[in-house]
Structure 1
Amino acid sequence: MPLHGHFDVVGGISGDMTLGAFIDALPHLEQSLRDDLSAFGVLDHVTLTIRKERVMGLHVTRIDVDVVSDAPPTHHWHDIRAFINQADANPKVKMLAIDIFTHLAEAEAQCHGVPVDHVHFHEIADWDSLADIIGVASCVIHSGIESWSCSALPPGSGRVKTAHGLLPVPAPATVLLLRGFELSNDDEAGERITPTGAAVLKTLVSTPKAAAPSGWLNEIGISAGARSLAQKPNILRLFVSEVAIDKRGDTVTRLSFDIDDMTAEELSVALDQIREAPFVLDAGYHVGFGKKGRMRFCIEVLGIAGHESNLIDLCFAETSTIGLRIDDCHRRVLERLDAPENVKRVRRPNGVTAKIESDSLAATKTLKDRRTHSRNTEQQNES
């Protein structure tokens, strides 16, 4: 069964905390971690120390990355990308490290209003951050974990010192990276999620949810951050589980709501507008009856997972509803086979079936001819 990783962000998450959680859960990754950092040339400029500690009575792993005094600067994104690309290293690790850095660069570019290639990193691009990001990429690739989730995230509060002065917590780039993730304020102050930690979550967790899928827990790793919190341990936990994932299906977001104050014509136009959105899979309705015998339209909209906010805004803008029901549901989709553009051809358990689009029959005169044309086309594509 495939492996799933779940980050339980108790105290916070950063690059070195993520590394520590990996090594604590899966100690065998230490050798591949050091091998990959050496292949990228990172160990020429940093030393990596792995040590055990106790934090509020818990046994944890902490990783320290110390930069040597004569390490050259690594501030610009195009320099970092070139450094990673030219390394004689594991191509999968390279690709994932670039993905994490790209999310950082895009967030920084949006914050400062500059092109991505012109991004000049300050706090996140020293050699210790390179070690964190390449190290996390190494651990992810060699762990064999295929899917990821995370708990609700503590936003923290206060100010953080940056090259641009004191900025609010979470830092502006971190806020952009955490769009779509669930936040839960625990009243602990300070920077709880670093830009690097946020970029790791953004890259790995494709559908942010607070709950991990059901499965069988194999390993757990606990790491600690440098700061101490007032009410709880500043730790990050990593759960590694075996999960039964049906790869023949996927997850979609479903919005449902009822309307009794729009006409059928208005609703038809609204649903056409909703279906036009690129993140909408389908939209439709059936007729029901509400209080005092009033007729109502029961609407259901299916969208691509991860676009919940966009779906909500769209439905509120296009319809008169003042409330929505939202849930994620698992769906199964039949395998689509090659066919002419106007024909849906799928593989069913009992064989291949085909269905011609009704719009393709509109130009054919008489019902008999339309049925004959439909039958012939479908039989041709089913054989």
Structure 2
Amino acid sequence: MRTLYLDAFSGISGDMFIGALLDLGVDFDRFQSELAQLHVSDYQLHNERLAKNSIYGTSFDVVLNHEKDHGFIEHHDHHHHHDVRHLSDICSLINASGLSEKIKKQSIAVFTEIAKAEAAVHQMPLADVHFHEVGAMDSIVDIVGCFVALDLLGVDDVRASALSDGSGFIQVAHGQMPVPVPAVMQMRIGTNIPIKQRTDVQTELITPTGMGLVKEIVSHFGSIPEDAILLKTGYGFGKRETGSFNALRALLFDTKKSRQTVNTDHDAVLLIEANLDDQGGESLGFAMDLLVDAGALDVFFTPIYMKKNRPACKLSVLCAPEERDTFVNLLLRHTATIGVRYQLMRRSIMKRQFKKVETKYGTIRVKIASRNGVVKQTAEYDDCAHAARVHKVSLADVEREVQLQLAKLENQ
């Protein structure tokens, strides 16, 4: 299970979010190709990897080919308005695209949130809300692009820190607005989204698009995950000069222990088991998924016969010894058993490291296991499966490509 954690110490906007995901490894060419399914033109996408405060990250921008005038709601220093659109116009444009139904639904949900907020702030019917700069083509590309990039990264869950915003006032087409801007505060109503104001920053850090994204995708607010494997860190740079480091940090985690580097050739695991003869297959599958998502080293079923020749299955869970209570509680809660048994087991294992291999289907992680001169290299299934789905090829095609690139690296 891949978890994306947004460390919003300097707020969040659409371009910062996309920049951070590109920095995490989203293929830019594939990203552009997916966005082309919007069937609109007259814009260019720019991304640049650069350093700020000696920290490297990615700056992303949408530039219209006929830019002239400044807009007023989103990213005031680089977005512009040419067309006035209503929510229905934007929904029609997105629904007519070739994007997946999931991306369409998520994108429309963000625009709807922004429209509702503007309608409440300006005391007008939802249908009458004019999307000036937010509804212009650059922001449509921004918002849709956020969900395209998220999908390409293969994220299962998104969490976030408390959001930081600036203070003071900003000057827009309608005059001065307080920070956080009214639309952002309106979207916060009825939620538990935590916002901390920074008195050292006298400008806006959370844009309406950023707030809309947070409402749509973030499942939990809190500290950085403690028990997951950190895969990669990315930074998406903002365009404003805030007087401090203006970036969104994105952390990509995996709860699977199989992704963890192992530097020893022996360890101990706990085997927890329960015999089940009165539980259906669907609920057993659901329990297995929960156990895997919780970080079990392995989960498996064994067909058995119990007393009175009743057919049943034995559910076995391998986990770290210190995680006993976590998995015992999960078994008692999500299976029909009223008790479990467990034993500590010693293992001889291979040391495990990972490397990344560049292929025509993108970057694929390869697991390298070694012990006493024996070396095994295996492409990560999840990476191969994701690449196969994205590029519409077979899993075998991706695996063959990985083996080809590994062979080339060995011959160099």
TM class, shorter-chain normalised? 0.5 to 0.7
Q: Is the contact made by 1:74 and 1:80 (CA closer than 8 Å) also made in structure 2?
A: no
Partner of 1:38: 36
Checking the alignment, whether the CA contact within 8 Å between 1:149 and 1:210 is kept in structure 2 is: no
Does 2:206 match 1:223? no
Amino acid of the structure 2 residue aligned with 1:152? A
Gaps of 5+ in 1: 250-329, 336-346, 351-383
Cα deviation, 1:169-210, whole Å, max 9, x if unaligned, reads: 111111122342222233222101111111111111133334
CA contact (8 A) 1:248 1:333 kept: no
Separation in structure 1 between the aligned mates of residue 119 and residue 223 of structure 2, nearest angstrom: 28
1:138 aligns with 2:148: yes
Aligned to 2:54: 57
**Deviations 1:233-280 (CA, angstroms, capped at 9, x unpaired):** 10111101012698659xxxxxxxxxxxxxxxxxxxxxxxxxxxxxxx
Cα distance, 1:331 vs. partner? Answer: 8.7
Asked if 2 retains the 8 angstrom alpha-carbon contact of 1:92 and 1:141, the reply is: no
Q: Does 1:186 align with 2:183?
A: no
Give 1:61 deviation, angstroms.
0.6
Q: Read off the aligned partner of 1:120 and give its amino acid letter.
A: H
Q: TM (normalized to structure 2)?
A: 0.57
The letter of the residue matching 2:192 is G
Distance 1:32 1:96 in 2: 20
| In 1, Cα distance between equivalents of 2:254 and 2:143 | 25
- Whichever residue aligns with residue 18 of structure 1, its letter is F
Q: CA deviation at 1:332?
A: 8.9
> Residues 139-154 of structure 1: matches in 2 within 5 Å?
139-154=149-164
Q: Kindly report the root-mean-square deviation, in angstroms, between the aligned alpha carbons of the 2 structures.
A: 2.7
Distance in 1 (CA, whole Å) between partners of 2:131 and 2:223 is: 30
- Counterpart code for 1:185: Q
Q: Which has the larger radius of gyration?
A: 1
Describe how 1:34-113 pairs up with structure 2 within 5 A: 34-42=32-40, 44-69=41-66, 73-113=83-123
User: 1: CA distance between counterparts of 2:183 and 2:332?
Assistant: 37
Tell me the alpha carbon deviations over residues 200-241 of structure 1, each in whole angstroms, 9 at most, x when there is no partner: 1111113333444630001111111112222x3101111010
Report the equivalent of 1:207: 220
TM-score normalized with structure 1 length: 0.61
Q: 1:36/1:130 Cα in 2 relative to 1: closer, same or farther (>3 Å)?
A: same
- The Cα offsets for residues 295-324 of structure 1, whole Å up to 9 and x where unpaired, read as xxxxxxxxxxxxxxxxxxxxxxxxxxxxxx
Structure 2, unaligned runs of 5 or more: 68-80, 257-285, 292-328, 339-412
**Change beyond 3 A, Cα 1:213–1:135:** farther
Separation in structure 2 between the aligned mates of residue 45 and residue 90 of structure 1, nearest angstrom: 22
**TM-superposition CA deviations, 1:30-79 (whole Å, max 9, x none):** 2332112211024x121001112221111111012111218961521110
Q: Shift of residue 141 of structure 1?
A: 1.7
Q: Which amino acid aligns with 2:119?
A: A
> For the structure 1 residues 141 and 117, does the alpha-carbon distance in structure 2 shift closer, same or farther, using more than 3 Å as the test?
farther
